[in-house]
């Protein structure tokens, strides 16, 4: 992980272990990431509503989206809810199973959050930059999502 992500992870982990409420921590993490990483333009959490096989939008930073609920299996977010694996889409125009939020978005990364091995939520990040994501992004976000599991 590069130094920028390592220091950002440290800041984020301080928030995760703070006394603040779960919703406050999640919201402040979205804000931190959206403000500190130039290629993160929209950062949000979707949580699983298991009985209805639906992802529901939780705290986010960036422009409001009409996609406040996404069926499991639909779009990049819905695919990750099934695969339980991180997914990077460097060019959203090349992704068939994609739900567009804004025409400005060029790429997307989604990381699942597993609690005791079960999918509970995910972090979704949209970028207005084409092909911006590297292994550093993934490593940073996986470490963050591991630490966040207890907040769900």
Judged by the rule CB under 6 A, the positions of this chain that interact with ligand SME are 42, 44, 65, 67, 70, 75-78, 98-99, 101, 108, 124, 126
Q: What are phi and psi of 89, to 5 degrees?
A: -115, 105
Residue 45 Cα to chain centre, angstroms: 6
CB of 100 to ligand SME, least distance (A): 7
Q: Which 8-state DSSP code applies to residue 94? A: G
CB of 10 to ligand SME, least distance (A): 27
Token pair in block for residue 140: 């940073």
Q: How many CB atoms lie within 10 A of CB 116?
A: 6
CB of 19 to ligand SME, least distance (A): 30
* Cβ nearer to ligand SME, comparing 28 with 124: 124
Q: Which of 105, 146, 100 is nearest to 123 (CA)?
A: 146
* Cβ nearer to ligand SME, comparing 5 with 42: 42
Helices 135-148, 22-36: inter-axial angle, 10-degree rounding: 170
* Cβ nearer to ligand SME, comparing 6 with 63: 63
CB of 98 to ligand SME, least distance (A): 5
């Amino acid at each position: 992980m590069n130094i920028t992500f390592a220091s950002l992870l440290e800041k984020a982990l301080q928030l995760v272990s703070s006394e603040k409420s779960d919703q406050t921590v999640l919201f402040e993490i979205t804000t931190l990431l959206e403000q500190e990483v130039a290629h993160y333009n929209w950062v949000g959490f979707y949580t699983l509503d298991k009985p209805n096989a639906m992802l529901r939008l939780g705290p986010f930073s960036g422009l409001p989206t009409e996609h406040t609920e996404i069926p499991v299996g639909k779009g990049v977010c819905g695919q990750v809810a099934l695969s339980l694996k991180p997914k990077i889409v460097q060019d959203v125009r090349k992704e068939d199973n994609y739900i567009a939020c804004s025409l400005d978005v060029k790429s997307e990364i989604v990381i699942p959050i597993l609690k005791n091995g079960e999918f509970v939520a995910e972090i979704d990040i949209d970028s207005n930059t084409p092909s911006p994501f590297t292994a550093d992004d993934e490593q940073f976000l996986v470490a963050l999502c591991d630490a966040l599991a207890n907040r769900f």
